[in-house]
Structure 1
Amino acid sequence: MTPTQLSQAVLRSVRGAVASGELRVAVPEGPDGVALRRPPRHVGAHAWSTGIALRLAGPAGLPAAEVAGRLRARLAAEPGVAEVRVTGGGFLTIALAADAEPALLRALLAAPPAPSLPDDPALDAARWAAVAGGDPAGGLLVQRVSNPLFLVRYARSRCAALARGAAALGVVPDPDAAPFELPAERELLAALRDAGRPAVRLPSIAEALLTVEALRPTLPTGDEKPGAVHRARLALAQATGTVLADGLHDLGVSAPEWL
C-alpha cells in the first residue's frame, strides 16, 4: 500500500462514518485531505500516523479520541491494514500488513513511468530551483551527484538501464520472489513509502537506490545465473525508476532514460 492509497483508505473511513451517521462533518477532499507521518516511536517499517481525528473533532463536536475511535474499526478493515490504534489523545497509528513491501512494489509496477519531458538543461534547472532552491545558472547544471538535480536524473536513468539489461537477460520483475534483507534495501523501501516534499524526497530515493546498487548488483554478474533474488531486486529498481520519473515529471523536469 502506497502513502496515497493509505490516505485514500483513511478518507473512505471518514466517508463511511459520515454516511452511517457516526460523524456529522464535511469530508476533507483534495491532495491535502489527509496528512500522513511517521509515528515518533513506531516499531517496524510499516507504521504511519494521521491526525485526521484531531482535525475533525471541532466540527464534529466530539473529543478527538472519540472521533478516532469511531474511525478505527473502519480503517482496520481496509485491505493492507494490519492494525489501527488510537494514540496521543486522538492520533490514528496504522500498521500495514506484513506483505506491505511486495504490495507497494506491485502497485508501483502496475503503472508505467510518466513520459519524459523534452531535455532542456536550463529549463530543468530553473524549474528545480523554483521548488528546491539552488543556482539554476551554476551548481544545478553541474553533472555530479553532489548536485541533487543531477543525482535524481542519474538515478532515474540508472533504473532504466537496469530494465534494459534485464530484458536482454530475460529477467522479469517479481517483488514476491525473494525477501529484501539488506538494511540499505529496507531504507530504499522506506523512502519509496514516504510522502514528503518532492525536492527532499526524490534526492533521498535516488541516493538510497545508488547505495543499494553499490552494495549488491541488481542483475547477475560474471557466470552468475539469473534467479529469484534478481527478479526481486529488479522489481525494486523498476519501482524506484517509476517514482523518480513521476516525481520529476510533476516538477516539470525531464527524466531521460539515457544520461
Structure 2
Amino acid sequence: MTPVELSRTVLRAVRRAVDDGELSVAVPARVVVERPRPGGCGDYSTNVALQLAGPAGRPPRHVAELLSRRLADSPGIAGVQVTGPGFLNLTLADDDPGALAREILARGGGYGGSDVLAGQRFEIRIPYEVRAEVVADSLRRVLATQGALAHVVQGETAEPSAAHVVRLRPVPAPRDPAVLGRDASRWALLLPAAHDRPRIDDEHLAQRESNPLFRVRYAHARTRALTRSAAALGFTAEPGDVRGTASAPATAGAPGEAVALHTALSAHPRTLTLAASHHAPDRLARQLVVVADALLGFQHTVLPQGEEKPSAAHRARLALAEAAGSVLAGGLSLLGIDAPEHL
C-alpha cells in the first residue's frame, strides 16, 4: 500500500464513522500520513484524530480509538496502535512490496497529483522582476498538479478578483541570472526559499557532486542508463520485492538503500501538496535533491555483478530506479527545467 492509498484508507474510515453517526464532523478533503518520528512505531502515523477531536467535541484518544477499530480490518493494514495524545500508528501488511514503483510507473508524470485544490482558482500577482516571474511560473504548474487553476498577473492591480490572490515578492537575484543559461538560472532562482537571496555563480554550472542541480539531472540520466544496460543484459523492470532470495541473495546494502529511495519517493505527493498550499516551489526543488541522492546511493544494486544472473530482485530494483527517474523528470518539468537522458 502506498502513502496515497493509505491516506485514502484512513479517509474512508473517517467517512464511515461520520455516516454511521459515530462522529459529527465535516469529513476533511484529505488526510496526511507520514513516517513516524524517532521513537515512534509502525510504518506510518497520522494525527487526524487530533484534528477532528475539537470539531467532534470528543477527546483525541477517544476519536483515535474509534478510528483504530475501523482501520484494524482494512485491507493492507496489519496493525493499528494509538499513542500519545491520539496519534494513529499504522503497520502495513507486506502484501505488495512493488506497489509504489507500480503506481509511479503507471501514473508517470502524474504521480503525486491530487484533487485537494480542485475547482479553486488562484491569481498570482508579482512585480516586474525575473525571479518573481520564474517562481510564479513554477507555482502555477505545481498548483495545477493539485487540481487548481492559476494565472499570473504582473504589476499592481486594484481590480477585485474572484480567485484566491497570491502575492509573490521573492528576494530578487543580486545580478542577471541569464549568464547561467536557462536551466541553471531557473534552478538558482527556485532552490532557495522566497525570503532567501539566491546565489548567481558558476557553481550552478559545475559538473560535480557539490552542485545539487548536477546531482538531480545526473541521477535522472543514470536511471535511463540503467534501463539501457538492463536491456543489453536481457531483462526489463518488474515491480516487486527488491530483496534477494536464498538462490539470488541481495546485493550488499540493497535493502537499506532501497528503503531510503522508497521513503523519498513516498514523500513526493505530500511535497507537491505542501509546495502548492504554501506557494513554495522551492520545497519541490529540495525534495528532488533528496530523491536524487537516494537513487545515487541505490543505483549500484540494480544490475547483476560478475557472474550473477538477472533475478526477480534485479527486475524489482530496476523498476524502483525507473520510478525514481519518472519522479525526477516530472519534478524538473514542473520547475521548467530539462531532464536529459545523457549527461
Shift of 1:88: 0.7
For the pair 1:205 / 2:201, whether they are aligned, the reply is: no
Q: Does 1:90 align with 2:86?
A: yes
**2:217 match:** 153
Indicate the SS of the match to 1:14.
Answer: helix
Q: TM-score, normalised by structure 2?
A: 0.64
1:198-239 C-alpha deviation (Å, 9 max, x unpaired):
3443222211221223xx352245665433332122112112
Which residue of the partner structure matches residue 56 of structure 2? 60
Larger Rg: 2
Contact 1:127–1:253 under 8 Å retained in 2: no
Opposite residue 125 of structure 1, the aligned amino acid is A
Higher mean C-alpha deviation, range 124-133 or range 142-151: 124-133
- Does 2:125 align with 1:127? no
Q: Cα distance, 1:147 vs. partner? A: 1.6
Go from structure 1 to structure 2 and tell me whether the alpha carbon gap of 1:47 and 1:234 turns closer, same or farther (over 3 Å shift). Answer: same
Alignment pair present for 1:218 and 2:325: no
Residues 152/77 of structure 1: CA separation in 2 closer, same or farther (3 Å cut): farther
The answer as to 2:12 corresponding to 1:12 is yes
Across the aligned residues of Structure 1 and Structure 2, the Cα RMSD in angstroms comes to: 2.8
Alignment of 1:1-259 (within 5 A): 1-29=1-29, 33-43=31-41, 47-99=43-95, 101-113=97-109, 120-129=183-192, 134-176=198-240, 179=243, 181=250, 182=253, 183-194=256-267, 195-196=270-271, 197-213=283-299, 216-221=300-305, 224-259=308-343
Aligned residue for 1:89, secondary structure, equals coil
Partner of 2:279: none
Q: In structure 2, what residue type is equivalent to 1:36?
A: E
Counting matched residue pairs gives: 250
Label 1:212 to 1:68 Cα distance change in 2 as closer, same or farther (>3 A).
same
Q: Provide, for residues 170-210 of structure 1, a one-character-per-residue CA deviation record: whole Å limited to 9, x for no partner.
A: 31212336526522233222333335543443222211221
Contact 2:102 2:239 in 1 (8 A): yes
Cα distance change on mapping 1:36 and 1:176 into 2, 3 Å: closer
Please name the residue that 2:247 is paired with: none
Can you give the 5+ residue segments of structure 1 that lack an aligned partner in the other structure? none
> What amino acid does structure 2 have at the position aligned with 1:256?
P
Tell me if the contact between 1:220 and 1:230 (Cα under 8 Å) persists in the aligned partners.
yes
Code of the aligned partner of 1:174 = E
**In 2, Cα distance between equivalents of 1:165 and 1:105:** 19
Structure number with the higher helix fraction is 1
Q: Specify which structure has the bigger relative contact order, considering alpha-carbon pairs within 8 angstroms and separated by 6 or more residues.
A: 1
Q: 1:15 to 1:254 in 2, by over 3 A?
A: farther
What's the TM-score, normalizing by structure 1? 0.82
Contact 1:53 1:92 in 2 (8 A): yes
CA offsets 1:137-196 (integer angstroms, 9 cap, x no match): 443333222122221121111112212332343312123365265222332223333355
Inter-partner Cα distance in structure 2 for 1:225 and 1:36:
37
